[in-house]
Amino acid sequence: KEKLVRDITESVQDENYEAAYDVINEYESYFELTDKLAILKCEVLWELSAYLELKEEANILLTLGYKPYDIYMTYYVKSLFELEQYQSVIDIIEQVLDEVTEHQTRMTLLPIKDRARSKLDERKDYMAYRLQQFHSLNQHEQMQLILSLIDDNAYQFTESISYLFNTSFMPTHIQSLMLEYLRLAEYDQCV
């Protein structure tokens, strides 16, 4: 057990993160992670740019009550940002700001929230442009655009979606997505 811990620590110090990852997985097959090793695992995943796995791992560690909460929450939010889940980043930071205990954690999370809001605004500008080009998009692109609007809570385009729905012939799956968008946006006009 001690040899595995030493190998993990040395690999991280040598910035050999792939080796550290392998040894951590070996360690986990025999033992439960300590708080220190859990933090190292998150650091290794971050350095390997394994953001999806980091998001899942940080979420599991948070759920299991590993300490310190602030570190895992920071890794969780940073991984969401790298996965371009900007609306989720904003929502989670707004939810957890009262739960984090360290001033430094707040000063880490708030700029991430600001960056996520900026990226979301950029994406909404791009979505507005894509809506203007809606008829020139293929069906897959149309579907992806509407799904992106829903994922990002970009509900300021209800009039555009309603107009497209009422004036254009589209396949039923696109119409269904449009109706779902309008429902989620709480659009109260008749379509």
Is domain 2-119 classified as CATH 1.20.1250.20? no
**Per-residue pLDDT, 72:** 94
Q: Which residues are within 8 A (CB) of 71 and not within 5 positions of it... i.e. 6 or more apart?
A: 39, 42
Question: Given this model, what pLDDT does residue 45 score?
Answer: 97
Residues 29-67: pLDDT tens digits?
999 999 999 999 999 999 999 999 999 999 999 999 888
| pLDDT tens figures, 61-86 | 999 988 888 999 999 999 999 999 99
| pLDDT computed for residue 190 by the predictor | 82
Backbone angles phi, psi at 155, to 5 degrees: -95, 15
- The rounded distance, in Å, linking the Cα atoms of 58 and 9 is 19
Residues 6+ apart with CB under 8 A from 155: 149, 181, 184, 185, 186
- Tell me the per-residue pLDDT of 147-168, one tens digit each, with 9 for 90 and over: 999 988 899 999 999 999 999 8
88 Cβ contact partners less than 8 Å away, ≥ 6 residues apart:
80
Query: Is the pLDDT reported for residue 101 higher than 80?
Result: no
> Domain residue spans in the chain?
2-119, 133-184
